[in-house]
Amino acid sequence: MKLFEQQELYIYNSISKTKEKFTSINDSSIGMYVCGPTVYSNVHLGNCRTFLSFDLVFRYLKHLDYKVRYVRNITDAGHLENDADSGEDRIAKKARIEMVEPMEIVQRYTVDFHQTMAKFNALPPSIEPTATGHIIEQIEIIEKIISEGFAYVVNGSVYFDVHKFNETHSYGKLSGRNLEDMVANTRDLATQTDKKNPQDFALWKKAEPVHIMRWSSPWSDGFPGWHLECTAMSTKYLGNHFDIHGGGMDLKFPHHECEIAQSEAALKTNPVNYWMHANMLTLNGKKMAKSTGNNILPHEIFSGDNTILSKAFSPSVAKFFMYQANYRSILDFSNEALLASEKGFNRLMEAYKILSEIAPSEKNEFDSSVWRQSCYNAMNDDFNSPILIAQLFEAVKVINLAKEGKTQLDKENIDVIKKTMHDFIFDVLALEESNANNASDDNKLSDAINILIELRNQARHNKDFSTSDLIRDQLKEVGINLKDGKDGTSFSLN
């Protein structure tokens, strides 16, 4: 019997706004599509949280013995600066500023994305298609939408007619928005004369003479609308109707709303059974975003080369921090939260190591089978990683008590605990033990450096600047950089 046949998984469906029992379209196979990055800059931690959330989903579904086809795209064209179909293409703009070819930008930041996700120990998707690799499929879908009467051509551009669509369908059902309210709250489109209505969105845009990225189409030399690419790629690799579609919460409207409309107009079917949305990671209480500059890059966390953290943190600690909140919850990033997560991470890994050293007793005082199912219950409840982690720490308590001789574990229960912890720590959460092996040494190094920082602070207080400068300079020579700030002195390792 497959593991998924023994477990009841519930997923919060954004379109119904309730948790629903998961039933796959095909008995043992799942199709899952997740909107991937627009590769015009380094992936920041807020982006990573979304992709790690769906890595957790992917891993757990595989752990349950499902065969999963996970498709995550790369947006390498068509994503304009403004959701209202105006502004420059983000990739083309970056290429213009740096005076390079757009595909150089795409290549650079796709590589960065892959390297960063590998450091987080995330599995690659089954298929990773690109927007530019599916221009033909996008043109074919546009032609279907036009033939169904839900799109119109103006001056070489093609727009989806939202008002026409809404006469027979429900535009806004995912985001909960009402078209009449959208109309009432829309400013006049005096400068956007191509569109019949402000709510209409581009399926194909005619390229201006200066626009570098362009392709031939029946309507003009131009480029596809951003929303269209995901409809084309998801349906090509998963079929017109598939199980799960995921992405960041900010994509719910208009991106995913438009995807639903496109599929229902062209393919005459509801495209997805379960819509999943990961919430944002905030920094200093504000949304983490490339556009605002309020973000931190993963490599800055791993190296400690930033003005936010007191030290460097490993990828597994950063991921452990993110998994301590449910993927649908807003999570605020801070130095204190990471320090606490690091302590918890080290305790968890140390307990797993100790488990192998415990001599089995003849008697047993812990029901590991009940505890094991509680771990599954947590993940079955919409992939509730913080509850899973809490259950793992229930085992940590028992392990430490057994080590101290304060409770008894027989061999059978030790084996169940060990297998369960291994399954969830390494296979599902995908934390890496190697980070914990050096944790004790890292903590000792941090303690030693902090002692030197305190000695330097005392020297500065006593106006013994020669000693304070000597400590700073000699630490720098061995690759330890001190940074003085309003909150004190922190350090980073080269």
Give CA–CA dist 61/440, Å, rounded: 34
The reported pLDDT for the residue numbered 187 is 61
What pLDDT does residue 88 have? Answer: 83
Domain endpoint, select from 281, 306, 340: 281
Q: Could you say which of 258, 281, 304 is where a domain stops?
A: 281
Same domain, 60 and 206: yes
Q: What average pLDDT is seen over the chain?
A: 92
252 and 302 fall within a common domain = no
**Rounded distance, CA 413 to CA 409, Å?**
6
Q: Which residues of the chain have pLDDT under 70?
A: 83-84, 187-193, 290-291, 434-443, 486-487, 494
Report how many domains make up the chain: 3
Q: Count of CB atoms within 10 A of residue 221's CB? A: 13
pLDDT in tens, 370-381: 999 999 999 999
- Angstrom CA distances, 201 to 86, 136, 177, 185, 227, stand at 10, 20, 16, 17, 9
State residue 460's pLDDT score: 86
Do residues 240 and 203 make contact, with C-beta atoms less than 8 angstroms apart?
no
414 lies in a domain?
A: yes
Q: 312, 304 in Cβ contact below 8 A?
A: yes
* Closest residue by Cα to residue 158 from 141, 169, 146, 140: 146
Rounded distance, CA 382 to CA 20, Å? 9
466 shares a domain with 433: no
Distance separating alpha carbons of residues 196 and 447, to the nearest angstrom: 65
| pLDDT of 438 | 52
Same-domain check for residues 152 and 26: yes
- Output the CA torsion 381→174→82→289 (10° steps): -10
pLDDT at position 485: 77
Asked if residue 326 is part of any domain, the answer here is yes
Looking at the structure, tell me whether residues 366 and 241 fall in a common domain: no
Last residue of a domain, one of 419, 437, 455: 437
Please give the pLDDT value at position 195.
93
Q: What pLDDT is recorded for position 220?
A: 97
- CA proximity to 274, closest of 24, 5, 4: 24
Domain that holds residue 196: 10-281
Does residue 65 sit in the same domain as residue 198?
yes
Q: What is the DSSP string of 330-382?
A: -EEE-HHHHHHHHHHHHHHHHHHHHHTTPPPPSS----HHHHHHHHHHHHHBT
**pTM across the whole model:** 0.87
Based on the domain organization, do 84 and 188 belong to the same domain?
A: yes
Q: Are residues 234 and 176 in the same domain?
A: yes
Q: Is the CB of residue 310 less than 8 Å from the CB of residue 364?
A: no
Contact between 478 and 448 (Cβ < 8 Å): no
pLDDT at 486: 65
Burial zone of 113 (CB within 10 Å; 0-12 exposed, 13-18 middle, 19+ buried): buried
What pLDDT score does 481 carry?
86
